[in-house]
Structures are given as structure tokens and as C-alpha cells.
């Protein structure tokens, strides 16, 4: 059979041939009973597969949408954050003052493995705290500033700049002025949009003078257009906006960013984590797995950060490395999941890098 | 379906919301809109998942996860494009990954949807056809999940090779070879029944 048009029959059946090829096959089928039977067989297999029922237990679909929805609602997460405000404030202050510099130094020496602390650094800082003129991270402005430049430089080296339009700027470097993950508050979708969904990241901005705050930021969809410019707002404006948001009592979704008052700190944390993770190498399967997890944690924490795209690719790479080192199907599955997910993004700017890995794995 | 969200007066008459409209709202965080999307696609998504993972509880997980991922990725999805193929691809990818995972291998061999003989209606009609169906079902179960996924996406969902390749993160050539192997295997399994009228009729009719 295969001496006829066998190897193209499937493509013929699946409508994957050009009109010319189709016509050729049609002609051949007209005079070849064997290929005709073969084609029939193929289509019968498909039809039989289609005919197999895929039924769920009775009532399953009545409750399914609600269950999905319940998982998307942010509520269950609240409990985690429901720690006393003063406690959170103290913890944040402690971290900023003591732990962060230590982690920072470690990361600068590029030697330490990323600790969970660095990746998930911030308990919510105090409610009232952000109103104070000096946000926590300004404690070490010079270090931040230098790091920011290094980070941005590094991004440039790695070709990330095209995704996140943030060259080092005199304003203190707007780091990837991207919106955060949408808050999923069902009762007020539009509020959600104007709240977290479109909130741009503020820069660490040690250099930003406490200028009189510009007008309230544009809201919702309008802001999509002008993210970059909006992000140049001073941190003061950011603080005021954050207080307003706090009044709205928005719940944070699991992967959602920390509250705005911690933005400056978050940014520092993001950079630290990012730099630290970039510097890590995996020599064993376990290290590679841990690195993948670390990148994943980073992405959960900073899903829209300037380093997110690179992070996604790095996560894929770490998975690839893990698989190469151990040949464990589980790693392969993770790799496949990660790489596919990456490629499914509309703005997968580094698809080729990921595809290369996929091809390497298939070999 | 009632209009629950008021921002856009565009939905025509009793007609349901345009999909793009719903998706745009869902993207803005509107869970009502997204729930509507879930209602529309749940059977299809579950079907894809079940055909690949072959266990209700796992298919349930996969289907939920698919919708959740889709929701979170909505801002990267072009809402002008059809949602169906996209969500099915997500589901297929998750399903395949599950089946490949060691956790899945520890689970007992799935008894497929075909074997939990659905009461009342038998799509294939006759005793012989029912037997053929059981055989087909076992044949499907015996395929590697990768092949099964490709076959399901092609035969049931009608995705193109390119779409299948993208959804599973494999090359188009791989899609073709897996499809080929899957069909070969099932054709061989079914060959004793090939002349069964019911199956044949089914095959040509569907």
C-alpha cells in the first residue's frame, strides 16, 4: 500500500495537503482500490475515536463553572495575609534594615543559592507606613541605584531590552513599567482593573525627589497605552494611590503582587532575586530542579516584572538541564509543560531559544 | 442568558454575548463573564482531557486547571481569535503532562470512558459494535499518551498539525508520526471488526 500514496493519505485525510497534492491523490484514488481502502480505514479509526463517549457523571457540568470560579476568587488567600498590621510593619522594617542588605551582598558575590527569603521577601508592610515620606528601600539608595544599573545593563546584554522598554534613566530607572496581575475581585471588575490590574511598577527611585504628585494616574484601559509614561510618576503619587486602593480593601490573589506601599521594596527584591537566580548554575539534577522551582517562585512573585520573560525562558532551561542530568520523565514532563506554556504566549519574544531546547529534547 | 454586566450595550437581542466581548470582560477580571465562557466550553475541554487521561477525577483536575490557566493568560490571548482551540490546546497539554508524570503512572491503569458502559444509549448500536468499542477503548488506553493526545486533537477536535504541534510543544513532523502510529495501532486492533456494518456505517457517517 505504501508504495502508492500511503504516506500522504493521512495528510490528505487531515486536509494538510496543497490543492495540487490533493488533486494528485484524488487521481490516484480513482484507480487504486488498495489506497481507497486504506483511506477508509484511517477515517474509520478517527470516526470511531470520535464516537467513543466522553461522559461525565450526572450533574458534573452543573457545578463545574462554579468550582472554577471559586478557585479564581481571591478569598482563600486572605487568611494568609491577615496578620496584624503592626506585626507586618515590624517584620518588613526588619527585613529591609537587616536581612535585605545581607542577601544583597550575597547576591552580589554571585555565590549563594537563592533563598526563599529572597524570592518571597515581603510580608505586607504596615498599612500606615507607606504614608511616611521615606519608603523602606530608600534606606540604601546608593546600593539600589547601582544594582539597578547593573540589572538593566545585564538585561541589555541578554537581549531583554526589546521586551521591557526601560533603559537606565536619570529618573532612577523605571524598571519594566508593567501592569500587575489583575485582581480578581468579582464584585467590582472595573475597580479591579483600575486597581492592581493596571498598576505600573514604580521605580526604586531613590533619585526621585518628593515632587508634588502629578494628577491621579489614568485609569483602566487608557493606561495600557501609556504605561511607560505613567510609570514615571513619583513615588509620592504611588503612595497616595496605594492608600486609596487600600481603602478599597482589595484582596490579593495568590500570585498577585504585594501591596503598593511595598513597591519600592518589591522592586529591590525583584532585582535581587533576579540577579541571584541568573547567577545560579545547576550541576546536578536536584540543583536544576531547585533552580526551576526558584524561577517559578520568582515568576509567581513578579509575573509582570521586567525580568519575567527571561525568567520564563530560564525556567524552561532549568527544566531542560534537569532532564538532561537525570533523564527523569518527570523532568521531561515539566519541561514540556513549561516550554509549551512559554510558546503559547502571544508575546513570547524568545521562542526560538525555547524551540531549540525542544528540538534538543526530541533528539 | 441574561446580561449581567452593563458596560457594553452591544450584545444583540436575546443573543448571547459575543465571545470576544465576554473574553474582554474576563480579561478585565470579570468572573461572571469568564464563568459564561466556562459554561460554553466545559464539555469540550473535559472531553479532551478525559480522552487523554482516561479518568474522571484527573480529567476534572485537568479541565479546571485549563480554565484557570486560560484565565490567567487571557491578557496574552488575542480575544479576536476563537477561544475553543486555544483552551483545548491548554487542556491537551496539561493532560499529556499529567499522563507522563510519575504520579500518573502510579495510579492504576485507567478504566476508560468507554468501559464504564454508559446506560441507555450505545453509539455503536449492536453487540458486535459494542465489543468493537471496548476493543477500541482498550486500544486507545494502550497508546502512549502522546499519541493519544495527537489523535484526540486531530480526530475529535479537528486541529491542524500546526496547532497540535504548538499545543503539545512538538514538531509538526512529530505530530504526523505520532498520528500515524496511533492510527496504525488502532486500525490493527479494529481490523477484526472492520466489516462490521455498524462500525463501518459509523465510520463513514461521522
In terms of pLDDT, which residue wins out, A212 or A176? A212
Kindly report the three-state secondary structure assignment for every residue of chain A.
CCCCCHHHHHHHHCCCCCHHHHHHHHHHHHHCHHHHHHHHHHHHHHHHHHHCCCCCCCCHHHHHHHHHHHHHCCHHHHHHHCCCHHHHHHHHHHHHHHHHHHHHHHHHCCCCCCCHHHHCCCCCCCCCHHHCCCCHHHHCHHHHHHHHHHHHHHHHHCCCCCCCCCCCCCCCCCCCCCCCCCCCCCCCHHHHHHHHHCCCCCCCCCCCCCCCCCCCCCCHHHHHHCHHHHCCCCHHHHHHHHHHHHHCCCCCCCCCCCCHHHHHHHHHHHHHHHHHHHHCCCCCHHHHHHHHHHHHHHHHHCCCCCCHHHHHHHHHHHHHHHHHHHCCHHHHHHHHHHHHHHHHCCCCCCHHHHHHHHHHHHC
pLDDT tens digit string along B96-119? 888 777 666 555 444 444 444 444
The answer on pLDDT for A328 being more than 60 is yes
CB atoms A49 and B151 under 8 Å: yes
Task: Read off the pLDDT band of A162 (50, 70, 90).
Answer: very low
Within 8 A of A329 by CB-CB distance, chain B residues are 100-102
Query: B12: distance to nearest CA of chain A, Å?
Result: 22
pLDDT recorded at residue A41: 85
The answer on pLDDT for B59 being more than 90 is yes
Tell me the whole-structure pTM to 2 decimals. 0.45
Within 8 A of A358 by CB-CB distance, chain B residues are 169-171
**Which span out of A171-175, A218-222, B80-84, B89-93 was modeled with the highest average pLDDT?**
B89-93
Q: For residue B72, what is the nearest residue in chain A, using CA coordinates?
A: A181
Within 8 A of A17 by CB-CB distance, chain B residues are none
Task: Read off the pLDDT band of B7 (50, 70, 90).
Answer: very low
CB atoms B72 and A73 under 8 Å: no
In terms of pLDDT, which residue wins out, B87 or B3? B87
In terms of pLDDT, which residue wins out, A65 or A151? A65
In terms of pLDDT, which residue wins out, B197 or B132? B132
For residue A282, give every residue at least 6 positions away whose Cβ sits within 8 Å of its Cβ, in sequence order, or none.
A288, A290, A291, A318, A321, A322, A325
The answer on pLDDT for B86 being more than 60 is yes
**Which span out of A5-9, A235-239, A271-275, B72-76 was modeled with the highest average pLDDT?**
B72-76
What are residue A231's phi and psi, to 5 degrees? -65, -10
Mutate to test the interface with A, among B1, B26, B31, B80 (most CBs of A within 10 A): B31
How far is A170 from B136, CA to CA, in rounded Å? 68
Q: Is the dihedral of CA B95, B101, B105, B108 positive or negative?
A: negative
The answer on pLDDT for B70 being more than 90 is yes
CB atoms B199 and A43 under 8 Å: no
The answer on pLDDT for A311 being more than 60 is yes
pLDDT tens digit string along A226-276? 343 434 444 444 454 454 455 443 433 333 334 444 444 455 567 767 777
Within 8 A of A57 by CB-CB distance, chain B residues are 56
The answer on pLDDT for B137 being more than 60 is yes
How far is B112 from A48, CA to CA, in rounded Å? 15
The answer on pLDDT for B65 being more than 90 is yes
pLDDT recorded at residue A124: 44
Amino acid at each position: 500500500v505504501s508504495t502508492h500514496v500511503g504516506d500522504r493519505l493521512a495528510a490528505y485525510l487531515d486536509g494538510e495537503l496543497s490543492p495540487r497534492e490533493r488533486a494528485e491523490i484524488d487521481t490516484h484514488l480513482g484507480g487504486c482500490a488498495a489506497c481507497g481502502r486504506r483511506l477508509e480505514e484511517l477515517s474509520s479509526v478517527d470516526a470511531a475515536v470520535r464516537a467513543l463517549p466522553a461522559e461525565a457523571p450526572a450533574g458534573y457540568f452543573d457545578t463545574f463553572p462554579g468550582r472554577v470560579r471559586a478557585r479564581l476568587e481571591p478569598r482563600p488567600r486572605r487568611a494568609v495575609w491577615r496578620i496584624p498590621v503592626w506585626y507586618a510593619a515590624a517584620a518588613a522594617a526588619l527585613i529591609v534594615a537587616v536581612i535585605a542588605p545581607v542577601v544583597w551582598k550575597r547576591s552580589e558575590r554571585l555565590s549563594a543559592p537563592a533563598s526563599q527569603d529572597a524570592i518571597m521577601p515581603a510580608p505586607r508592610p504596615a498599612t500606615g507606613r507607606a504614608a511616611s515620606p521615606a519608603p523602606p528601600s530608600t534606606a540604601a539608595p546608593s546600593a539600589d541605584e547601582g544594582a539597578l544599573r547593573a540589572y538593566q545593563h545585564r538585561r541589555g546584554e541578554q537581549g531583554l531590552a526589546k521586551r521591557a522598554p526601560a533603559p537606565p534613566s536619570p529618573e532612577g530607572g523605571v524598571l519594566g513599567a508593567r501592569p500587575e496581575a489583575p485582581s480578581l475581585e468579582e464584585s467590582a471588575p472595573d475597580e479591579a482593573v483600575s486597581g492592581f490590574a493596571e498598576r505600573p511598577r514604580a521605580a526604586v527611585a531613590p533619585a526621585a525627589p518628593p515632587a508634588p504628585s502629578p494628577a491621579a494616574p489614568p485609569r483602566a484601559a487608557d493606561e495600557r497605552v501609556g504605561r511607560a509614561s505613567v510609570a514615571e510618576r513619583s513615588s509620592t503619587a504611588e503612595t497616595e494611590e496605594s492608600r486609596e486602593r487600600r481603602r478599597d480593601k482589595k484582596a490579593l490573589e495568590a500570585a498577585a503582587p504585594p501591596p503598593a506601599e511595598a513597591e519600592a521594596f518589591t522592586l529591590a527584591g525583584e532585582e535581587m532575586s533576579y540577579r541571584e537566580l541568573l547567577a545560579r548554575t545547576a550541576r546536578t539534577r536536584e540543583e536544576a530542579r531547585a533552580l526551576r522551582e526558584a524561577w517559578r517562585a520568582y515568576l509567581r512573585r513578579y509575573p509582570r516584572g521586567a525580568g519575567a520573560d527571561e525568567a520564563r525562558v530560564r525556567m524552561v532551561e532549568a527544566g531542560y538541564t534537569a532532564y538532561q542530568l537525570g533523564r527523569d520523565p518527570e523532568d521531561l514532563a515539566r519541561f514540556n509543560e513549561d516550554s509549551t506554556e512559554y510558546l503559547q504566549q502571544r508575546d513570547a519574544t524568545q521562542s526560538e531559544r525555547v524551540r531549540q531546547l525542544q528540538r534538543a529534547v526530541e533528539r | 442568558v441574561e446580561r449581567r454586566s452593563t458596560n457594553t450595550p452591544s450584545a444583540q437581542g436575546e443573543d448571547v454575548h459575543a465571545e470576544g466581548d465576554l473574553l474582554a470582560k474576563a480579561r478585565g477580571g470579570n468572573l461572571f463573564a469568564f464563568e459564561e465562557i466556562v459554561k460554553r466550553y466545559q464539555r469540550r475541554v473535559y472531553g479532551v482531557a478525559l480522552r487523554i487521561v482516561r479518568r474522571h477525577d484527573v480529567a476534572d483536575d485537568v479541565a479546571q486547571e485549563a480554565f484557570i490557566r486560560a484565565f490567567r493568560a487571557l491578557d496574552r490571548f488575542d480575544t479576536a481569535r476563537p477561544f475553543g482551540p486555544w483552551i483545548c490546546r491548554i487542556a491537551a497539554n496539561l493532560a499529556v503532562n499529567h499522563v507522563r508524570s510519575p504520579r500518573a503512572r502510579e495510579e492504576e491503569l485507567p478504566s476508560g470512558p468507554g468501559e464504564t458502559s454508559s446506560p441507555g444509549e450505545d453509539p455503536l448500536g449492536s453487540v458486535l459494535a459494542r465489543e468493537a468499542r471496548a476493543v477500541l477503548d482498550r486500544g486507545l488506553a494502550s497508546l502512549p499518551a502522546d499519541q493519544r493526545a495527537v489523535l484526540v486533537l486531530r480526530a475529535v477536535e479537528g486541529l491542524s498539525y500546526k496547532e497540535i504541534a504548538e499545543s503539545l510543544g512538538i514538531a509538526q513532523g512529530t505530530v504526523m508520526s505520532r498520528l500515524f502510529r496511533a492510527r496504525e495501532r488502532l486500525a490493527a486492533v479494529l481490523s477484526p471488526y472492520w466489516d462490521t456494518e455498524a462500525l463501518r456505517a459509523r465510520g463513514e457517517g461521522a
